[in-house]
Structure 1
Amino acid sequence: MSGGLPARLGAVRDRARGLLPRGLGYAVPARDPEPEAVVRRRRRTVGVVCVAGAGMLGVSLSTEPDSPQFYGLTLATAATWALGSLASGPLHQGWIETQDGARRRPVIVPVATGVGAFGCFVAGAFVARRVPVLDAAVRRVLRFAEEGTAPLVVLTTLANGAAEELFFRGALYEAVGERHPVLVSTVAYTATTAASRNPSLALAGAVMGTLLGLQRRATGGIQAPMLTHLTWSALMLRYLPPLFRSPRVS
């Protein structure tokens, strides 16, 4: 009997380990190459949409918070990312592969990753408050949440989060192919957020773009990065503004 218990505990441990997802360093096996006509269409569409979306994002953030122009332009930006992505060609949902080789649709792990990313950004917020340039930049962005109509702010935030994943970790990632798609999609995402001329958004774009790109590579589709992005955005929208309501830290 005494020898049976360690064996059973070892079996439970091995089973639990097998249920763990593969890490972000994992890359799903490459799919069969797309037809050349699909590749050309995707790359043309991605190029046009990237320029148009970046321009619209910059203009939307130069409008007044809670104005019809702001809501109209931000929703139009989301529509540009989403419609351009769908027009570029097929996109893949993706799977999470566990250590035992089983595949499951990614839900729990991406949501937990979004919560973890939010925690890291909250810690970073206390640092940003001590850096005058970042403190001022974050406060400029949070004006749109603080002064806006709550349901519309939530709608535009989540719509843009989902649409950005369709484009940057969907259409653009596919268009890049095997030529460093995580790096290229992250650089493009960071450059797009930099069009807002706000350093805090560019920094957040670089950090989240890297994380979401690695998720895309590890799962082979857009579901995991989209759920992470939406979870992170919702938590940031709800809990970050109170951290910057108090007077600046000197």
Structure 2
Amino acid sequence: MNVVSELRAFVRAALVDPVPRDHLQTDRAFHRRRVVAVVTLLVGAGFLAWALRIEPGDPTFYVATFALAGVWALGAVASGPLHLGWGWTRGGGEHARPIVQSLALGALLLAVFMAGAVVVAQVPFLRDPVQQLLDHATAGSLAIVTVVTIVNGVAEELYFRGALYAGVGRRHAVAVTTVVYALVTATSAIPLLVLAAAVVGLVCGLQRRVTGGILGPIVTHLTWSLGMLYLLPLALDRLS
């Protein structure tokens, strides 16, 4: 099998063909999940807007971001059952947890965004807002920011690809969760962060549709976000 065929098979297995499962819920449970998801969304959007407007180096940033993660996670758990999901195996036999597949998707996303950094570094209008966001890592504790990145990445996927996705229903779940994720991120007033949310949200949404769970999106999200945290500042510094 040549490289093109391998890539096509990977994309179909990771983002196109759903793994069979039965996650049906009663009408009452579905309605309850929707109510909890909406309330969580409103509260979470407010916490995110607050966190992203805190000056770099201010310890309040850590409090705000951990509080935000708590909102997403508690809302997701309160909404109803969440599933880890299953992925296709290369041999087409027993399904497996979508870990290696998701690591590969996260690495591909990271490569695309790092290539885009070449352009961003040359345009102050795009570079400066991103640099201000990354200053939280350089002005504060990188170790703590790493923990914040992990905790928030997991919490976001629990909510957006867990509770909210299940609350939307089957037909338009990928589109709705991607748009909502981008709109919530728009409270940051950072155009490239909104674009990143749309792209990552779409990929993770498609993963959620294929695997039927949150594990794949979590692994992809963390691979991308941690890579960006450590590599993007270096790229911007060298290319600016």
The letter of the residue matching 2:83 is H
The letter of the residue matching 1:48 is V
Task: State the match for 1:57 in structure 2.
Answer: 48
After superposition, residues 26-65 of structure 1 pair within 5 angstroms as 26-29=17-20, 31=22, 33-65=24-56
Q: Which has the higher helix share?
A: 2
- Asked if 1:148 is matched to 2:165, the reply is no
Name the CA distance, whole Å, in 1 between partners of 2:202 and 2:145.
Answer: 25
The letter of the residue matching 1:133 is F
| Structure 1 unmatched ranges of 5 or more | 1-9, 11-15
Task: Give the deviation of 1:247 after TM superposition.
Answer: 7.0
| Structure 2 unmatched ranges of 5 or more | none
- Asked if 1:217 is matched to 2:239, the reply is no
CA contact (8 A) 2:15 2:210 kept: yes
- Asked if 1:127 is matched to 2:112, the reply is no
Task: Give the deviation of 1:106 after TM superposition.
Answer: 1.2
Name the CA distance, whole Å, in 2 between partners of 1:109 and 1:247.
Answer: 31
Name the CA distance, whole Å, in 1 between partners of 2:23 and 2:183.
Answer: 30
CA contact (8 A) 2:14 2:101 kept: no
Distance of aligned partners of 1:146 and 1:97 in 2 relative to their CA distance in 1, 3 Å threshold: same
Task: State the match for 1:92 in structure 2.
Answer: 83
Q: Residue 122 of structure 2: SS of its match in structure 1?
A: coil
After superposition, residues 152-191 of structure 1 pair within 5 angstroms as 152-191=144-183
Q: Residue 24 of structure 1: SS of its match in structure 2?
A: helix
Q: Residue 50 of structure 1: SS of its match in structure 2?
A: helix
- Asked if 1:114 is matched to 2:106, the reply is yes
The letter of the residue matching 1:215 is Q
Task: Give the deviation of 1:32 after TM superposition.
Answer: 5.0
TM-score normalised per structure 2: 0.91
Task: State the match for 1:199 in structure 2.
Answer: 191
Aligned residues: 233
The letter of the residue matching 2:61 is F
CA contact (8 A) 1:182 1:213 kept: yes
Look at both structures and tell me which one has the larger radius of gyration over its CA atoms: 1
Task: Give the deviation of 1:191 after TM superposition.
Answer: 0.5
The letter of the residue matching 1:119 is A
The letter of the residue matching 1:227 is V
Q: Percent identity at matched positions?
A: 44
CA contact (8 A) 1:176 1:184 kept: yes
Task: Give the deviation of 1:30 after TM superposition.
Answer: 6.1
Task: State the match for 2:15 in structure 1.
Answer: 24
Name the CA distance, whole Å, in 2 between partners of 1:192 and 1:74.
Answer: 14
Q: Residue 54 of structure 2: SS of its match in structure 1?
A: coil
